[in-house]
């Protein structure tokens, strides 16, 4: 059987808690959780450091949002091609979707399940396939989850970090 992601993640959390008890690392469980989305289209890695410096923690959940961590069933009685097609269909219908409603609903589902305190959306100039639905996502998040959102727009990694810091600072002030 393939490696079970949830088991591995649980073991990692247990190991991290043991390290914190020994004074290695830092307990971030009381810090505001900021869902970073979407990373797959591009993102600014320095935002993670800035959020951490502002007493927040980043949650990266693209694969969960897009439904790409679901199991693909395998056995002697199943067709691998059919099961893979079923996996892709499920990801398309309830993960990444073929429309803005499905994709925004997927973000809402994961933000709710992970108890996100806020959502940070990355808008990459020139990538309009995903960036154009932020307004719809922001309204749904505000209406249904009542958590703050903000969008960070950038062209190239490392290009506008100085301009980004005040915006992230104002965003993180909402959690105090």
Helices (H), the chain: 5-21, 46-53, 62-65, 80-94, 100-113, 128-131, 134-140, 161-173
The pTM of this model reads 0.75
> Any idea where the domains of the chain sit in the sequence?
31-62+99-173
Q: State which fold the 31-62+99-173 domain adopts.
A: Rossmann fold (3.40.50)
**DSSP symbols for 133-175:** THHHHHHHIIIII---EEEEEESSTTSSHHHHHHHHHHHHHTT
Distance CA 149, CA 115 (A): 14
Q: Are 23 and 137 in contact (CB under 8 A)?
A: no
pLDDT of residue 140: 92
pLDDT tier, 1 (very low <50, low <70, confident <90, very high otherwise): very low
165 pLDDT higher than 60: yes
């Amino acid at each position: 059987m393939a490696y079970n992601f949830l088991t591995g993640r649980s073991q990692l959390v247990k190991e991290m808690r043991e390290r914190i008890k020994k004074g290695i690392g830092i307990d971030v469980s009381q810090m505001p959780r900021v869902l970073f989305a979407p990373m797959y289209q591009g993102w600014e890695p320095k935002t993670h450091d800035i959020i951490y410096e502002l007493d927040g923690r980043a949650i990266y959940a693209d694969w969960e949002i897009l439904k790409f961590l679901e199991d693909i069933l395998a056995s002697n009685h199943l067709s691998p091609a059919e099961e893979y097609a079923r996996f892709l269909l499920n990801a398309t219908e309830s993960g990444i979707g073929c429309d803005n409603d499905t994709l925004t609903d997927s973000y809402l589902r994961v933000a709710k399940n992970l108890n996100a305190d806020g959502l940070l959306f990355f808008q990459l100039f020139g990538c309009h396939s995903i960036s154009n639905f932020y307004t719809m996502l922001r309204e749904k998040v505000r209406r249904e989850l009542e958590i703050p959102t903000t969008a960070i727009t950038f062209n190239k990694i490392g290009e506008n970090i100085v301009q980004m810091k005040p915006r992230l600072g104002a965003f993180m002030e909402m959690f105090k």
